[in-house]
Amino acid sequence: MRWLRSIAKRVLPGRFVEWYRRRRAMRTYLKDLAYEVYDRTIRIELDEVEERVAARREGFYGRLVQDVLERTELVLQQLDRRIEGLSARHGSDIRDLQAEVADLRSAVTELQRVLSEVPSATSPLPARRAE
């Protein structure tokens, strides 16, 4: 290629050679400029796309956090219901036990009353000393 250029320089007039050099330089410059502009637009578009994705991510993360909070709220409500059920059940159990204890106390006092009326000689149980 160099050999062909050197022959063209010798044979063709100087004005034509300068015109061709300017034209080639202009083509090369415009071609490089086009690649650079294209690369910049691609980078700008990538930046815009990244911004859009980030904006979508924020929306996604916001929805995700809201969903997690709603689920947590539901779990807490269920636990609260269970605790209320347990306390109600245990409260009724405690009331039942208190009533049973009261019945047993009355039965014991009734037995003590009956035993105190029975003469001590015939009692199968030994007499208790008063303390």
Q: Is residue 36 part of a domain?
A: yes
Range of the domain at 55: 8-114
Domains contained in the chain, number: 1
Q: Is residue 129 part of a domain?
A: no
Q: Is residue 3 part of a domain?
A: no
**pLDDT reported for residue 65:** 80
- Those residues whose C-beta lies under 8 Å from the C-beta of residue 125, and which sit 6 or more positions away, are 115
Mean of per-residue pLDDT scores for the chain: 81
Give the range with max mean pLDDT: 9-13, 34-38, 55-59. 9-13
Q: Identify the band that residue 55 occupies on the pLDDT scale cut at 50, 70 and 90.
A: low
Cα atoms found within 13 Å of the Cα of residue 4, Cβ hemisphere only: 1
Q: Is residue 70 part of a domain?
A: yes
For CA atoms 58, 59, 62, 63, the dihedral sign is negative
Q: Is residue 123 part of a domain?
A: no
Q: Is residue 24 part of a domain?
A: yes
Look at 7-21, 26-40, 43-57 and tell me which has the smallest mean pLDDT: 43-57
pLDDT (tens digit, 9 = 90+) per residue, 102-122?
999 999 999 999 888 877 655
